[in-house]
């Protein structure tokens, strides 16, 4: 029975809070004679200049989901975090700082020494002291460099070594093979 009493008391509190919020909302509506700017000046006249009106509310449930996702990434094994970073570097082909990597894939390299050291020593990652970038086996940028490399090795070259050179390498490789 005590549980039912607590539930009834909780419901009464909720009703009271709802009625209070309704009355506050009704009293804060501007009168038709006042303009919006007059109302805003009146409402913020007693506030110090450094205080800003509150930012629009973030939907709590979606923010919680995002934070849980970030937490699950940061709690993941170091190998999974390293893979996320290497995949990001491979897809973007940009040199990124640890802060940019953290913003993009939620892996905090600065806070995790194991991930930082593993990335620094990884053969597929180049680190210049400040930024990380993807490093392919052959530093090719376009079709002309690919053609030069293919001609340089008349006995052939493994496709797997060329696959990660640049995004359209496979299409260019097929065109080079057709041309020869």
**Spatial contact of 133 and 140, defined as CB atoms under 8 Å apart:** no
Residues 127 and 168 in one domain: no
Output the CA–CA distances (angstroms, integers) from residue 75 to 12, 72, 86, 124, in the order listed: 42, 5, 18, 24
- The verdict on residue 30 lying in a domain is no
**Spatial contact of 81 and 98, defined as CB atoms under 8 Å apart:** no
- The verdict on residue 74 lying in a domain is yes
* pLDDT, position 41: 46
Q: What is the CATH number of the domain that holds 75?
A: 1.10.10
Structural domain total, the chain: 2
For 16-67, the DSSP string reads HHHHHHHHHHHHTSPPTTS-HHHHHHHHHTTS-TTPPPPPPPPPHHHHHHHH
- Maximum distance among all alpha carbons in the chain? 89
Instruction: Tell me the C-alpha distance between 97 and 129, whole Å.
Output: 10
Residues 147 and 172 in one domain: yes
- The verdict on residue 5 lying in a domain is no
Q: What is the pTM of this model?
A: 0.59
Residues 152 and 124 in one domain: no
Report mean pLDDT in 10-residue bins for the chain, 180 residues.
Answer: 82 81 69 49 48 59 82 93 95 94 94 94 94 90 85 84 83 73
Q: What range defines the domain where residue 155 resides?
A: 143-179
- The verdict on residue 103 lying in a domain is yes
- The verdict on residue 154 lying in a domain is yes
Q: Do the bridges between strand 132-134 and strand 125-127 make them parallel or antiparallel, or are there none, so unpaired?
A: antiparallel
Residues 147 and 120 in one domain: no
- The verdict on residue 90 lying in a domain is yes
Residues 153 and 106 in one domain: no
Residues 124 and 154 in one domain: no
Strands (E), the chain: 125-127, 132-134
* pLDDT, position 120: 94
Residues 113 and 148 in one domain: no
Instruction: Tell me the C-alpha distance between 118 and 109, whole Å.
Output: 10
- The verdict on residue 111 lying in a domain is yes
Q: Is 96 helix (H, G, I), strand (E, B) or coil?
A: strand
* Residue 127 bridge partners (DSSP): 132
- The verdict on residue 102 lying in a domain is yes
């Amino acid at each position: 029975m005590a549980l039912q009493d607590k539930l009834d008391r909780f419901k009464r509190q909720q009703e009271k809070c709802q009625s209070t919020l309704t009355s506050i909302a009704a009293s804060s509506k501007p009168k038709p004679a006042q303009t919006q700017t007059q109302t805003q000046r009146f409402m913020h006249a007693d506030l110090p200049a450094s205080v800003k009106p509150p930012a629009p509310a973030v939907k709590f449930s979606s923010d919680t989901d995002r934070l849980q996702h970030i937490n699950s990434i940061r709690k993941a094994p170091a190998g999974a975090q390293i893979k996320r970073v290497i995949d990001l570097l491979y897809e973007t082909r940009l040199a990124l700082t640890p802060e940019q990597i953290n913003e993009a894939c939620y892996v905090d390299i600065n806070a995790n020494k194991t991930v930082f050291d593993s990335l620094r020593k990884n053969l597929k990652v180049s680190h210049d002291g400040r930024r990380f970038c993807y490093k392919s086996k052959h530093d090719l940028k376009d079709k002309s460099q690919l053609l030069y490399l293919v001609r340089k090795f008349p006995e052939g070259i493994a496709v797997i070594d060329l696959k990660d050179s640049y995004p359209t390498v496979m299409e260019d490789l097929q065109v080079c093979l057709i041309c020869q």
